[in-house]
Amino acid sequence: MLRIRPKFRRACEEISDNKDFYLKLATAIVFVYLLVTKVFVKGVVFPIETSDTYIGSARDKPFYEGCVDTLSYLKDPSYKKMNATFVMLTKNDEIDGVLHSVNSLESHFNQWFHYPYVFLNDVPFSEEFKKEIKNAVSGDVHFDIVDKYMWQIPEERTDPEAFKNAIDTQGDRGFLYGGSASYHRMCRFYSGSFYKHPLVRRHEWYWRIEPEIDFYCDITYDPFFEMAKHNKKYGFNIMIEEIYATVPNLFRYTMAFIKKYRIKPKTLWKLFSMNHNILKTSNQELQSWVNFYRDVEPKLAEKIVIEDFLRGENPEDSVGLGFLIRRSKAATPIVEDQFDNEEYNLYHFWSNFEIARVDTFDNPIYNAYFEYLDRVGGFWRERWGDAPVHSLGLGLMLDVEDIHYFRDIGYQHSIMAHCPKNAPNKQLVYKEADSRRKRGFFKNRYDSTFENGCGCRCKCPRQRDTEDKSWECMHRWKNLLQPEDEELNGGLHEGYVDVKREEDKLRKLFQI
């Protein structure tokens, strides 16, 4: 009979008669496994300071690490200014926040490149607003209103009472911004309307900005040009998890859309989808029990012990008998939000910062996706944000290689901030192109450099980087960049945990 390490056996015997058997069993096995082998179980990742590590591969990496000589860059014959614009949705009374954002962007980037701005509002901009903005920017600027049929949610026009009740209910339940009708309108507008506005549609590229944002590093190259040069279609700066209560049915409707229109998602889909069919095995019973990485070792350990008990000569072995009885009484776990063996992991690109091709969204697949979501009413019945909608939509259409992480851009909006460490030996002296952007002694003092840094003249805020707060999201992105990543290279529903290999490892572990 299989001889189990004493620590493992004692743990099993101690909990064999406990009502919380399976919970404690999983904890005990994983703990002993880590203790004895001093290695990490596949898929069990402990928090690290992601911002201290290198993120990049042949699939994607910073276009430049450190500073670029901008004057030489602009004079290079291969450089071409792109048909691009900044886009901001704002209001007249947000002028102070808008000026704050524009001044930061001009100081750190646009004073050298002079890209135009598009400002949109649901009411006309005041002459004072226009005057102050024109005086602050170095490029052309355009102002326009958003058509009410583009701005208002259909139910708001056709069934205003139901619309109001849904918004009020979300507010009463404490959903973040759920009780704000204007926030719902904004999310829907950015999800599927902004890129159809004539002032945006005349451009090939856009960079979304918001009031009250800060840039912390100098961007000495042209992101639009580099995106085009490297065949990138969408760029992000922050990735976080969505609040589940705001999107409880978004993935269900997304999967329904995929089935209805027979969409085959691209490799980026795997950044946002948890594939529950993770085992390489023909054992369907085992497959149904293992839905997450954390289930692998406990269920395989249970399988090994039971099989050993059934083959053994001691029918009164308490450990094996206890395992067998408990499994016979246990019900197959139900994953509530699982559809076709997949579930939304709530990861999303924070769309307050986006640099992308306009036709990344303005195309038949994404337009059909938005219209489908609009018809089912999630933009008002729930609080679907444009960030998860964009992210899942991108997963339908793009591969990982199409995405660029602007890690070298220091950026903050609200409480979310990402700021890279400065690249070593690649810092150049700041030279303003606009006399309004001169920097005094203290503004010319920057953070120290770092081995894995990629920023240019960064001066970061004193708060924890979003890379470290959302380390699970960033770890997933980092893994998908690696060419050898099994899940990315495999099929959409292929298993990628080799059961035989994992069983062999556990059998060696349990034997003396």
Q: Known catalytic residue: 467?
A: no
d(CA 460, CA 215): 9
Show the tokens assigned to 6. 């004493």
Largest CA distance in the chain: 91
Long-range pairs of 149-156 with CB within 8 A, sequence gap ≥ 24? 150/189, 150/193, 150/196, 150/197, 151/122, 151/185, 151/189, 151/193, 152/185, 153/184, 153/185, 153/188, 153/379, 153/380, 154/374, 155/377, 155/380, 156/181, 156/185, 156/380
C-alpha to C-alpha distance for 509 and 176, rounded to whole angstroms? 48
Q: How far apart are CA 386 and CA 349, in angstroms?
A: 10
Among candidate residues 387, 381, 416, 413, the one with its CA nearest the CA of residue 178: 381
Return d(Cα 430, Cα 351) in angstroms, integer: 30
Contact at 8 Å (CB) between 448 and 422? yes
Query: The tokens of 50 are what?
Result: 């992601």
The Cβ of residue 38 has, within 10 Å, a number of other Cβ atoms equal to 7
Give the tokens for residue 287. Answer: 């497959």
CA 415 → CA 213, 424, 462, distances in Å?
Answer: 10, 28, 12
Alpha-carbon Rg for the chain, nearest whole angstrom, is 27
3 state SS of 145: strand
Residue 406 contacts residue 63 (beta carbons within 8 Å): no
Instruction: Give me the numbers of helices (H) and strands (E) for the chain, helices first please.
Output: 24, 16
Q: What SS3 class is residue 403?
A: strand
Spatial separation of the C-alpha atoms in residues 435 and 107, rounded to whole Å? 10
Spatial contact of 206 and 351, defined as CB atoms under 8 Å apart: no
Cβ atoms of 278 and 43 within 8 Å: the answer is: no
Buried b (16+ CB within 10 A) or exposed e, 150-183: bbbbebbeeeeeebeebbeebeeeebeebbbbeb
Residue 248, judged by CB atoms within 10 A of its CB (0-12, 13-18, 19+), counts as: middle
Distance, CA of 217 to CA of 445 (rounded, Å): 12
Please, which residues have CB within 8 angstroms of residue 265's CB and are 6 or more apart in sequence? 258, 273, 395, 396, 492
Which residue in this structure is represented by tokens 């770890």?
475
Give the whole-angstrom CA distance, residue 419 versus residue 407.
8
Task: Give the Cα separation of 320 and 310 in Å (integer).
Answer: 8
Catalytic residue among 155, 226, 302, 354: 354
Q: Which residues are catalytic?
A: 354
